[in-house]
Structure 1
């Protein structure tokens, strides 16, 4: 079976394999990704043909491109030995077409003269076509990996591996710039990073014909990202100001900006704990970044002191009008703990996801606390991956669950005995993650 080199981005390394696994599932491809190494920017995979190679990375954000492998080695001599053995029947179609060489070096810089010497070392390939630096018929890439990254002089680093590949296809990594928040017309303080929103949508299997829901939509970062891949998006948020927008801009404005209005179902204002979506309404995926309670305390509708609001209940009239219909009415809110939110989110997903549907949700954690016990579980959901984005003393983790196939009538199986956050993340965040209590160890 032909081998191909996936050239990976040197960013968000723990997300790379889950994204490729999700894309392979979307395209119905069987590919072994066990060779992935988070420390290396290349991955060699077996695929049946070029078409499968294109399908695997055509919408990837964390892959840069894919190449047909012509040779590899731990030394230059080994590489040239392998290239010489590459079947002539496979290389013949590329002998007389225009071409160019790309020299891609990791952990080392190459001068122009060194690059030229490398290209000329492949003279035995007998490529008789013209060299064309712009829009050649074929591009050959020499990919060098060097170890000892802590050596100050790059020239002193040792060659770890070197590959020769024929370019097949690029990924969609270039769309990150298109969706950059700096260029977006409507954003807020909680708008999610465009690159990670797109990656989350890939891992969530957003695709044409699928319905994606974000119950904490904010300014619609995940909605837009999912719709870029053709999914129909619906969102909600307890903060009506973000849903309604400001001045002339709203989530709808962003959809118009990117030409995605055909994929926008709707958004509504609502408290997630009192969600109006009917239990029989099924979703293909839930992709969200639940509020952590950092910028403000996490709250839901209700009151710690119900008697305080007794005179504002809907049954009470003010000048003949129901109080909750008055334009100046502000519904009371009560504190809500993040661990309870995660419990409720998993319960909601168990009811509303289709069989094998995905829940992709972000969870913050202090680095000192992170471990298996911190990850919420549910009997109807299978945790398939955890992707970590590290900051200084804290991280946020993308938890990816799959809804297990239903063996009953699909009723909600509540699983409440899993209070994992003994101390609110918000408290630790503001005190700088110091003074950890013994109970947290």
Structure 2
């Protein structure tokens, strides 16, 4: 049993990193394939609203409960109003590795002032919520848990819907793959049938020793609920309910997370150069940003019976979708830079849809434009109905390196580039992320699919001076045409390949590795071919 003095010292131990005047709040977060996106999203939202954070304990994205230091409840509500990776925000009352430790903390002089005003108020309605991570807690067990806090004499009425006070108790368990077998063996030992029983029978089992309790308790957390997060937006933007989608439409959760990392907000101008069916435009507009999109394939932008404008009307954001245009990114029409506050995009990987740029394959038939009789003053026309300009494949490594310099040209200082980098996990290196002077890497988060993954890369435009005292952006863009490398007669590199320079991918897509300057293929090179080959090393060697 932990004594009250020990409880106070335990409380101080896990709040060592708390900043002055900060209070401890508990984030109940989502676990799964996107858990690595949690901290970058949290830092981005905090930066957007200029909210100072502190970490009472080092954050661990593999655990569902995160302690965070904030100055006030207003800051907690502001964060929650944008967060997607968290479910709720709570004011922390106690935390420990057992209920005994939590009980003693709740009774301590340091914690009693947090709950006693609610308990002594006869008009304050209340309820307890008991939940578990990696464990479903039966209702009788929840009731038994609540009863262990009977020393908190709440005078107000219990109200299960919209109470004035909601107290949460959360149990965290270690992953145990043999738990099912242990439960069955315990039930047999107690002489119980496969039926778990109901009502009083089940309550009696809980009181006498629930066979489902197999140990593995990692921690217990307790606090007062502040508010829910904006995770309800996932249901609003569910692709199954959207008016217009395509095969490459980004899922709602990811597109909302990307919009948060792009710092989308009222007064911001956000651009997607691979807009497709407009998922990133819609979620950025949801957060108040004015959005603009382009794509080389106008048929995706326009749709047939429905289009992006129908989805925008569905969500009430039509006025924040400025427009969408059809053009090749390497032949873009922007004659001046530093236009956008954020560029947020999902480049085509060549799996569901390949990246293409304007061009004609060798030996392809040319369709020459001509002057039409009676319309001479209109210039050249193509005689084919719905003529689509010819295009050629665009290697993934060239797409990424071009996107970086393109963003460097178009972003305002402080603007962000947020994009996905697909890569082979076996061949990935941090050197694969293209770097140029003037773009600072903010975060690199992996969504792991086994042999491959996609990394959400966030970069921010900064004004840095190079060794010659020039602005880093200007020196990096020198020799490029509006952020794009053009093919010259004496240059065999394809249009859109990255300019050679410190930290940037070379013309052939190779990157430097090691002090000896050896060349290697990045993890995203020839990604579509390696994907369909199952990332077989022999297939890679044969390429």
| TM-score normalised to structure 2 length | 0.76
Q: Helix, strand or coil: the match of 2:166?
A: strand
User: Partner of 1:93 in structure 2?
Assistant: 117
Q: Aligned partners of 2:94 and 2:142: how far apart in 1?
A: 18
Q: Aligned partners of 1:328 and 1:57: how far apart in 2?
A: 48
Q: Helix, strand or coil: the match of 1:218?
A: coil
Conserved in 2, the CA contact under 8 Å of 1:23 and 1:57?
Answer: no
Q: How does 1:6-25 map to 2 (within 5 A)?
A: 6-11=27-32, 12-25=34-47
Match for residue 240 of structure 1 among 278, 298, 301: 298
User: Partner of 2:476 in structure 1?
Assistant: 413
Conserved in 1, the CA contact under 8 Å of 2:248 and 2:352?
Answer: no
Partner deviation per Cα, 1:50-108 (whole Å, 9 max, x = no partner): 11111122211110011111111111111011111144443343122100000011122
> In the alignment, does 2:119 pair up with 1:61?
no
User: Partner of 1:358 in structure 2?
Assistant: 416
Could you say if the C-alpha distance between residues 189 and 4 of structure 1 is closer, same or farther in structure 2, counting changes exceeding 3 Å?
Answer: same
Conserved in 2, the CA contact under 8 Å of 1:108 and 1:157?
Answer: no
User: Unaligned 5+ residue runs, structure 2?
Assistant: 1-21, 181-211, 478-497, 511-520
Q: Helix, strand or coil: the match of 1:413?
A: helix
What displacement does 1:412 show?
6.4
User: Partner of 2:14 in structure 1?
Assistant: none
Q: How does 1:22-421 map to 2 (within 5 A)?
A: 22-33=44-55, 35-85=58-108, 86-95=110-119, 96=121, 97-153=124-180, 155-247=213-305, 249-305=306-362, 308-309=365-366, 312=368, 314=369, 316-317=370-371, 322-324=380-382, 327-405=385-463, 407=465, 408=470, 410-411=473-474, 413-414=476-477, 416-417=499-500, 418=505, 419-420=509-510, 421=521
Q: Aligned partners of 1:220 and 1:325: how far apart in 2?
A: 31
Could you say if the C-alpha distance between residues 412 and 211 of structure 1 is closer, same or farther in structure 2, counting changes exceeding 3 Å?
Answer: farther
Q: Aligned partners of 1:28 and 1:274: how far apart in 2?
A: 38
Conserved in 1, the CA contact under 8 Å of 2:417 and 2:460?
Answer: yes
> In the alignment, does 2:22 pair up with 1:5?
no
Q: Which moved more, 1:367-376 or 1:36-45?
A: 367-376
Q: Aligned partners of 2:353 and 2:134: how far apart in 1?
A: 43
Could you say if the C-alpha distance between residues 114 and 127 of structure 1 is closer, same or farther in structure 2, counting changes exceeding 3 Å?
Answer: same
Partner deviation per Cα, 1:304-347 (whole Å, 9 max, x = no partner): 438953x62x5x54667724475343312122211111111100
What displacement does 1:244 show?
1.5
- For the aligned residue pairs, the C-alpha RMSD in angstroms reads 2.2
Could you say if the C-alpha distance between residues 413 and 91 of structure 1 is closer, same or farther in structure 2, counting changes exceeding 3 Å?
Answer: same
Q: Aligned partners of 1:44 and 1:325: how far apart in 2?
A: 65
User: Unaligned 5+ residue runs, structure 1?
Assistant: none
Conserved in 1, the CA contact under 8 Å of 2:347 and 2:355?
Answer: no
Partner deviation per Cα, 1:4-31 (whole Å, 9 max, x = no partner): 1111011311001101011111111111
Q: Which moved more, 1:84-93 or 1:186-195?
A: 84-93
Q: Helix, strand or coil: the match of 2:42?
A: helix
Q: Helix, strand or coil: the match of 2:47?
A: helix
The structure with the largest alpha-carbon Rg is 2
Q: Aligned partners of 2:309 and 2:540: how far apart in 1?
A: 48
Could you say if the C-alpha distance between residues 347 and 197 of structure 1 is closer, same or farther in structure 2, counting changes exceeding 3 Å?
Answer: same
Conserved in 2, the CA contact under 8 Å of 1:5 and 1:45?
Answer: yes
What displacement does 1:284 show?
0.7
What displacement does 1:142 show?
0.3
Could you say if the C-alpha distance between residues 255 and 168 of structure 1 is closer, same or farther in structure 2, counting changes exceeding 3 Å?
Answer: same
Q: Aligned partners of 2:540 and 2:252: how far apart in 1?
A: 38
Q: Aligned partners of 1:325 and 1:48: how far apart in 2?
A: 67
Could you say if the C-alpha distance between residues 125 and 325 of structure 1 is closer, same or farther in structure 2, counting changes exceeding 3 Å?
Answer: farther
What displacement does 1:392 show?
3.7
